[in-house]
Structure 1
Amino acid sequence: MSGEILIQQPGNSVVTDLGRTRGPRYGLPVNGALDQYSARAANILAGNLDNAPLIEITALDFRMRATTDLLIAVTGAPLTLTVGGRPASQWEPVSVLAGESVSIRGIHRGLRAYMAIHGSVEAETLLGSAAPDTVVGFGLQLKEGSSLAALQSVRPIRQPYFDLPLFRLGLEKPGMGSDLAVDVTDGPDVAEFGESGELLFSSEYTVSGRSNHIGLRLGGELPERTSNSEVLSRGVPVGAVEVPSREELLVLHRGRGVTAGYPVLAVVTSTGLDVLAQARPGDKVRFRKTTVAEATAAHRRSRAQLETLRESVNTVFGLLGIGCRPQWQDLPVAACS
């Protein structure tokens, strides 16, 4: 262990990663970071593997103090980031000196932020993942006074001339706001809704305050089934748009159970799930129809952008002499390439 991170103001924060991919076969939700793009980007910017444990901060202010020199990266919703009282930038690596506090304030135009620490932090795992699971009571919810073991210290890095920004890595930050457009493909039960299914695309829906990591509840005009037959419980994907017999749509997110018994009208794409991860109560959502081929192409473009970012970070970190040592998984340095 190279040092500790002391939590001074936890807000609503957890240690997580990209999720428990082995979970569903054992009846456990996949869970993990709800905004996968932002979580991946944070770890890449910090010189970590995509799936390294990091901190997910939801809605509320957060503050921590480092006992060793660190390199961090904060992504996700717009916010005010300060390090040692100085303003710092999101979506780029930032040095933190031993003894300095890192504060995240005023998350807005979105709901979640992600903080990655170079070398990651020590975290217990279940089926290979640090992602919390509220159903089985696993995971690390941060509290005031708790501490995290920082696995690697990084000497301070500063631009020697005029204190100009050191990192300009060209990452295109995703747009966020209170009016969200979410892409979906047809679900397995789309035929059961007939023409009523088009309401999903012509109507506007409002995010309910009862939404959480298990699913988003959306108020608005609901499509109606033309069939009255019972829907048997069956496996459902993350992103399933269900139409229960009440006044809300239900979009299952990463904490969803692996089976359900409501008709599935549509399925939100992977990029659409990242959009919904940043939806705040009261935000307006419109759904857009897309095809599986188009959704796959959009996902590949997103991953290609992150791979380009990784190449840039590896080049810059190599020139600066910042080692990539994923101690949290006992992997070789070459695994970060």
Structure 2
Amino acid sequence: MNGDILIQQPGNSVVTDLGRTRGPRFGLPVNGALDQYSARAANILAGNPDNDPLVEITALDFRMKATEDILIAVTGAPLTLTVGGRPASQWEPVSVRAGETVSIRGIHSGLRAYLAIHGSVEADNLLGSAAPDTVVGFGLQLREGTTLRSRTSVGPVRQPYFDLPLFRLGLERPSMGTDLLVDVTDGPDVAEFGESGDLLFTSEYVVSGRSNHIGLRLGGELPERTSNSEVLSRGVPVGAVEVPSREELLVLHRGRGVTAGYPVLAVVTSTGLDVLAQARPGDKVRFRKTTVAEATAAHRRSRAQLETLRESVNTVFGLLGIGCRPQWQDLPVAACS
């Protein structure tokens, strides 16, 4: 059985997923959830495949009402979560009864939260992704009165004694704060900055209020190119650290265009991009040099942690009789069938 979810206070929220991987070959940004770790974790905690559509909430308060019993999970930045007026926990599955209101308030020590609903929600796709794209005007920006259609309903799952929390799945939550440490590897143009390139690792940078999903703008002491040659427009990766002017660094995020013509001093790692996704204007950022091998190992550790979480969720949901849809590349999970 599916039901409607009524958006009562949208704040700044969109329906998204992990991004449009086919987009760059057609000249479109990959987009998708900026904090990929938190988005994946939310879907796993809700018993969904990683790439199912979910709600990304940026900075502002959010409120919705369910017409059917549902199961949700909220991850990302620290916040106050209530269900039917009762306090509820982040980074855990949470039951919502029909008619209850889910409120997310006071996002702090971070910028973005992720709300996944068991079974996910119905959403249009472009090149296989529900991720919004402002360039072509695609995507679902939530507004007051918007109705989301949930794909399934889950009866209330509550601890029978003293109304204690039911789930303690042991997920290590990323630390967030106003002083951020971000790992980067050398960029293709690092040699053009000479000794000045070391400033990236010895200086502190401040996040500008002009930052967005396309790129973060950072003020501070800037490295300078030793070459005056023109940089032709070419493909640039998500995470490219550019020096477009004498005023700021620019870190390209998931909404970046696929080509650019500025020198690329460094490239932020995938785990570093998750950190920057939670950076608020005024937060301080320091960069730390790492190697491609070290960055790959860190990414694999992160994914392994999420897969361990998935195994725990599948086991618990199976015992409770809650269906889990496995990743498309995996065999069906017998415990959740």
TM-score normalised by L of structure 1? 0.97
Per-residue displacement from partner, 1:143-181 (whole Å, max 9, x unpaired)?
001100011000000011222211000000000000000
Per-residue displacement from partner, 1:253-280 (whole Å, max 9, x unpaired)?
0000000000000000000000000000
Distance 2:321 2:249 in 1: 51
Per-residue displacement from partner, 1:214-244 (whole Å, max 9, x unpaired)?
0000000110000000000000000000001
Q: Report the CA distance between 1:245 and its aligned residue.
A: 2.0
Per-residue displacement from partner, 1:168-214 (whole Å, max 9, x unpaired)?
00000000000000000000000000000000000000000000000
CA gap 1:326/1:295 in 2 versus in 1, 3 angstroms: closer
CA gap 1:15/1:29 in 2 versus in 1, 3 angstroms: same
Q: SS of the residue aligned with 1:160?
A: coil
2:29 alignment counterpart: 29
1:173 alignment counterpart: 173
Instruction: Report if aligned partners of 2:50, 2:327 keep a CA contact under 8 Å in 1.
Output: no
Instruction: Report if aligned partners of 2:187, 2:264 keep a CA contact under 8 Å in 1.
Output: yes
- Equivalences for residues 182-193 of structure 1 within 5 A: 182-193=182-193
Instruction: Report if aligned partners of 2:319, 2:335 keep a CA contact under 8 Å in 1.
Output: no
Structure 1 range deviating more: 241-250 or 178-187: 241-250
1:323 alignment counterpart: 323
Identity of aligned residues (%): 91
Instruction: Report if aligned partners of 2:31, 2:255 keep a CA contact under 8 Å in 1.
Output: yes
1:19 has 2:16 as partner: no
Q: Report the CA distance between 1:334 and its aligned residue.
A: 7.2
Distance 1:69 1:216 in 2: 39
Distance 1:77 1:205 in 2: 21
Q: SS of the residue aligned with 1:216?
A: strand
Distance 1:21 1:69 in 2: 33
Q: SS of the residue aligned with 1:121?
A: coil
CA gap 1:308/1:297 in 2 versus in 1, 3 angstroms: same
Instruction: Report if aligned partners of 1:190, 1:197 keep a CA contact under 8 Å in 2.
Output: yes
Per-residue displacement from partner, 1:283-308 (whole Å, max 9, x unpaired)?
00000000000000000000000000
Q: Which stretches in structure 2 are left out of the alignment for 5+ residues?
A: none
Instruction: Report if aligned partners of 1:151, 1:327 keep a CA contact under 8 Å in 2.
Output: no
Structure 1 range deviating more: 172-181 or 160-169: 160-169
Q: Report the CA distance between 1:330 and its aligned residue.
A: 15
Q: Report the CA distance between 1:336 and its aligned residue.
A: 8.2
TM-score normalised by L of structure 2? 0.97
Give the total of aligned pairs.
337
Instruction: Report if aligned partners of 1:9, 1:63 keep a CA contact under 8 Å in 2.
Output: yes
CA gap 1:307/1:164 in 2 versus in 1, 3 angstroms: same
Q: SS of the residue aligned with 2:8?
A: strand
Structure 1 range deviating more: 147-156 or 161-170: 161-170
Q: Report the CA distance between 1:106 and its aligned residue.
A: 0.1
Instruction: Report if aligned partners of 1:119, 1:326 keep a CA contact under 8 Å in 2.
Output: no
Instruction: Report if aligned partners of 2:47, 2:119 keep a CA contact under 8 Å in 1.
Output: yes
Distance 2:269 2:158 in 1: 40
Q: SS of the residue aligned with 1:304?
A: helix
Instruction: Report if aligned partners of 2:48, 2:120 keep a CA contact under 8 Å in 1.
Output: yes
Instruction: Report if aligned partners of 1:76, 1:112 keep a CA contact under 8 Å in 2.
Output: yes
Q: SS of the residue aligned with 1:20?
A: coil
Instruction: Report if aligned partners of 1:65, 1:101 keep a CA contact under 8 Å in 2.
Output: yes
Q: Report the CA distance between 1:67 and its aligned residue.
A: 0.3
CA gap 1:236/1:336 in 2 versus in 1, 3 angstroms: farther
Q: Report the CA distance between 1:326 and its aligned residue.
A: 7.7
CA gap 1:266/1:319 in 2 versus in 1, 3 angstroms: same
Per-residue displacement from partner, 1:98-125 (whole Å, max 9, x unpaired)?
0000000000000000000000000000
Distance 2:238 2:202 in 1: 23
Instruction: Report if aligned partners of 1:49, 1:336 keep a CA contact under 8 Å in 2.
Output: no
Q: Which stretches in structure 1 are left out of the alignment for 5+ residues?
A: none
Distance 1:327 1:284 in 2: 37
CA gap 1:145/1:333 in 2 versus in 1, 3 angstroms: farther
4+ residue stretches of structure 1 with deviation over 6 A?
326-337
Distance 2:25 2:216 in 1: 24
Distance 1:314 1:324 in 2: 7
Instruction: Report if aligned partners of 2:243, 2:262 keep a CA contact under 8 Å in 1.
Output: yes
Q: Report the CA distance between 1:324 and its aligned residue.
A: 2.0
Q: Report the CA distance between 1:246 and its aligned residue.
A: 3.1
Structure 1 range deviating more: 159-168 or 297-306: 159-168
Q: Report the CA distance between 1:81 and its aligned residue.
A: 0.1
Q: SS of the residue aligned with 1:319?
A: helix
1:137 alignment counterpart: 137
Instruction: Report if aligned partners of 1:63, 1:104 keep a CA contact under 8 Å in 2.
Output: yes
